[in-house]
Amino acid sequence: MMNLDWNGIRYFATLVEKETLTAAAAALDVQHSTVSRQIAQLEQALGLRLFDRIGKRYLLTADGERLYRHACDLCKEMNVLQRVAREQAAVRHSVTVSAPPFVVRLLLMPHLTDFYRKHADIRLHLLAEAALADLHGRQADIALRLVRPTQNDLAVRRLRGFAFRLCAHRDYLTRRRADWQFVQLAVEARHSRWFMEQIGEDADIVFASNDFAAVKQAIAGQIGIGILPDFAVSPADGLQTVALRADEPPPACAAALYLVMHEDVRRSPAVRAVADFFGEALAGA
């Protein structure tokens, strides 16, 4: 009695509804001999005869009648269990990554197609935000940060080093130094403070934005000199680094990109897959 097979109960309920082995087998997508075997094993386990065989039809006995309602209840509960399991699996396969907008656009998005070739079962949610996601509050599973966190319960991996540099369009630099104007990245960050220290309090700031894409467009449009990460500049942009003082090389603000996870979520296979993929894809000097 204690070794009941769930399949036997499911086959029992289906045979009651369909009345013949052939119809039940078609509904269950199995051979009719499989249905017959499951019913025989269930009757043996219960010590009861559940059906009277009349020709090809299977009609419930009195014992079968009493057990059918309970079998239906079990089937409903198993359907709920399977649905909940599917939903939980879907949630497990959804991974949220938080990163600064320019990191999302310039570093993550170019690898997205390759990511889905390898991990089509993962739903990736990219949060492009300047604010740091609260990993303890589960606002994100993975965060890409420009500042190394100090909390002991966070797993941290340094992905790559890079530098922020003063940049201008090459045609803009043909102007007299006295006519140079500046484009400010208006965010509260170490590289933004470094930029302000480089240009000085008296610098003529004509445009400001908290978005690197807008800053880069303003620089490329010859609005002024601004700050960009070196991986955001390509030869086709027509931009070059700038030395504000003739006797010094172009300055640079060293930075690094870190991949951060809470210890509790790093055990998730989906989170680990995302972390490993982007960890490898973004790794550099």
Q: Using the Cα atoms of residue 129, residue 131, residue 134 and residue 135 in order, give the sign of their dihedral.
A: positive
Higher pLDDT, 217 or 2: 217
Q: Return the closest-CA partner of residue 228 out of 179, 162, 277.
A: 162
Tens of pLDDT, residues 36-78: 998 998 888 888 999 999 888 999 999 989 999 898 888 888 8
Distance (Å, rounded) from C-alpha 32 to C-alpha 67?
22
Q: Using the Cα atoms of residue 273, residue 274, residue 278 and residue 283 in order, give the sign of their dihedral.
A: negative
pLDDT in the model for residue 136: 61
pLDDT in the model for residue 234: 87
- Binned at pLDDT 50, 70 and 90, residue 211 comes out as confident
Distance of CA 247 to the CA centre of its chain: 48
Domains and CATH numbers, the chain: 6-89 (1.10.10.10), 93-159+257-282 (3.40.190.10), 162-255 (3.40.190.10)
Tens of pLDDT, residues 213-234: 899 999 999 999 999 999 888 8
Q: Burial-class residue 24 by CB neighbours within 10 Å (0-12, 13-18, 19+).
A: buried
Phi, psi for residue 123 in degrees, rounded to 5: -95, 110
pLDDT in the model for residue 89: 62
Does the structure show a pLDDT above 70 at 19?
yes
Does the structure show a pLDDT above 50 at 1?
no
Q: What is the mean pLDDT of residues 12-18?
A: 91
CA atoms within 13 A on the CB side of 59: 5
